């Protein structure tokens, strides 16, 4: 009997026991996670960490009340029954019947695991290159992670939906120093295996950013033409993605209320959710409600064309779910979520970063911001953030600036984009999977000195 067969038999037995105890509408949500992380430290020492964990969410109704528990050990039947009965006194009235899934399984549940020795050679080489670069004082993080997840959803009739998800990630953070000043920079990239990832380019990019961010003073307050670095653009886009969620549009908590099928970004701008994007982190075929996940366009030629729905919000608007019902964790309820969201522009309206700077001539390049989730309001589109970067003068990067406040409206920024960069940057692990290029946009207010 395979591990999967043993797991199903265990759940089948537990379900029968729960039914005898008076539970109804029983359903299970399970995530099995396998992770291997390899990190390099000063002295080129290597640390390898491994995890293999399975977590269950068990939901049911008991005497008309909702019950729920989370466990790594569904075989502990007595404890499961006890906790479920106790939780029924906490959650209150059961409003909905249990889910009934249209059974489907992922055809290919394989995941490509690179050998540790191969990864160690690559990560050590990256660490050495960073350490030997001029002005670099410290490699704070240099690691490679392989992460594979198996997701199961099972209803009371033992109908099941199975999906898999996995990624490889290289993540690096370094610090530079000169004449008593210090700076830090970080970057990460994703792929489906080591061979697909441009690790050397990622290292070069982070070294360049750390070196160029040294020193700097506050800018004179005023209005500046701006290029938002791709990492900043991705971070801001993640913060404002909830504006596209149907639940927020239905509650009037979105700056896009009333703007569906209308122009919200510059002509040529597109934004897509791409579940199988090679450089993305999330690769799902169904969401956590058993709905197929498909590629979709949210912005087409600057026009807002797609809202994001889960089952509940789709029902309110009388439309099908878009397959965006996801749980942030096993312990969470289903919310609106995404796989990989990518922002871009028509190819003829893209350029290298240096090309954007040459065309802009005068302005600023913003390469880092702090406090995005405190200073960005997805209900209004407004942001006010501590920022740093470089001044652009005569089409070239000049002196560094730091600790200024930039403020504006994110959707006004989208609407005034002139060109974008030709290289994607991504959010770090722990954030939503969002990718964006450099954005040459209109003017922003800078509060400095």
Domain boundaries, the chain: 3-212, 222-447
pLDDT along the chain (449 residues), means of 10: 85 95 94 96 87 95 93 94 93 69 60 95 94 92 96 90 94 94 95 95 97 93 97 97 98 96 97 96 94 96 98 96 95 95 96 97 96 91 96 96 96 97 94 97 93
Q: Is the CA virtual torsion 347, 267, 436, 181 positive or negative?
A: positive
pTM: 0.94
pLDDT at 108: 56
Cα 256 from Cα 264, distance rounded (Å): 8
> Tokens 């003017």 — which residue?
443
Please state, as a whole number, how many other Cβ atoms lie within 10 Å of the Cβ of residue 390: 22
Cα 225 from Cα 395, distance rounded (Å): 12
Concatenated DSSP letters of 123-141: HHHHHHHHHHSTTEEEEEE
The fold adopted by the segment(s) 3-212 is: PmbA/TldD fold (3.30.2290)
Phi and psi for 337 in degrees, rounded to 5? -150, 180
- 245: tokens are 């969620």
- 425: tokens are 């940057």
pLDDT at 26: 93
pLDDT at 202: 97
Cα 235 from Cα 199, distance rounded (Å): 21
pLDDT at 260: 96
Q: What Rg value do the Cα atoms of the chain yield, rounded?
A: 24
């Amino acid at each position: 009997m395979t591990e999967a067969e043993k797991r199903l038999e265990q759940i089948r037995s537990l379900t029968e026991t729960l039914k005898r105890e008076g539970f109804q509408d029983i359903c299970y949500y399970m995530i099995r996670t396998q992770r291997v992380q390899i990190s390099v430290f000063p002295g080129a020492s290597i640390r390898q960490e491994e995890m293999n964990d399975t977590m269950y969410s068990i939901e049911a109704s008991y005497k008309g009340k909702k019950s729920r528990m989370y466990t790594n050990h569904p075989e502990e039947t007595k404890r499961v029954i006890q906790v479920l009965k106790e939780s029924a006194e906490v959650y209150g009235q059961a409003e909905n019947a249990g889910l009934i899934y249209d059974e489907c399984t992922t055809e290919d549940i394989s995941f490509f695991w690179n050998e540790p020795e191969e990864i160690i050679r690559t990560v050590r080489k990256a660490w050495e290159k960073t350490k030997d670069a001029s002005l670099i004082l410290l490699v704070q993080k240099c690691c490679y992670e392989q992460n594979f997840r198996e997701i199961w959803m099972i209803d009371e009739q033992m109908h099941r939906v199975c999906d898999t998800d996995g990624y490889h990630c290289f993540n690096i953070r370094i610090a530079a120093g000169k004449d008593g000043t210090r700076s830090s920079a970080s970057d990460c990239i994703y792929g489906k295996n080591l061979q697909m990832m441009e690790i050397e380019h990622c290292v070069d990019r982070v070294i360049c950013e750390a070196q160029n961010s040294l020193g700097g003073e506050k800018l004179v307050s005023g209005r500046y033409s701006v290029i938002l670095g791709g990492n900043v653009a991705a971070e801001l886009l993640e913060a404002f993605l909830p504006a596209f969620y149907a639940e927020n549009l239905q509650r009037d908590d979105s700056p896009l209320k009333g703007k569906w099928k209308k122009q919200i970004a510059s002509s040529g701008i597109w934004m897509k959710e791409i579940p199988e994007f090679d450089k993305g982190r999330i690769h799902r075929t169904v969401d956590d409600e058993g709905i197929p996940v498909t590629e979709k366009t949210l912005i087409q030629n600057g026009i807002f064309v797609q809202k994001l729905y889960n089952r509940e919000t789709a029902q309110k608007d009388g439309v099908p779910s878009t397959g965006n019902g996801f749980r942030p964790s096993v312990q969470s309820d289903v919310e609106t979520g995404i796989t990989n969201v990518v922002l871009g522009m028509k190819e003829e309206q893209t350029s290298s970063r240096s090309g954007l700077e040459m065309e802009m001539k005068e302005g600023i390049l913003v390469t880092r911001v702090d406090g995005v989730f405190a200073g960005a309001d997805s209900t209004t589109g407004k942001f006010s953030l501590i920022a740093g970067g470089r001044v652009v003068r005569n089409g070239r990067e000049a002196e560094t600036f730091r600790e200024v406040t930039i403020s504006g409206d994110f959707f006004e920024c989208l609407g005034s984009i002139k060109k974008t960069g030709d290289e994607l940057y991504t959010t770090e692990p722990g954030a939503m999977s969002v990718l964006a290029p450099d954005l040459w946009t209109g003017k922003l207010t800078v509060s400095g000195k």
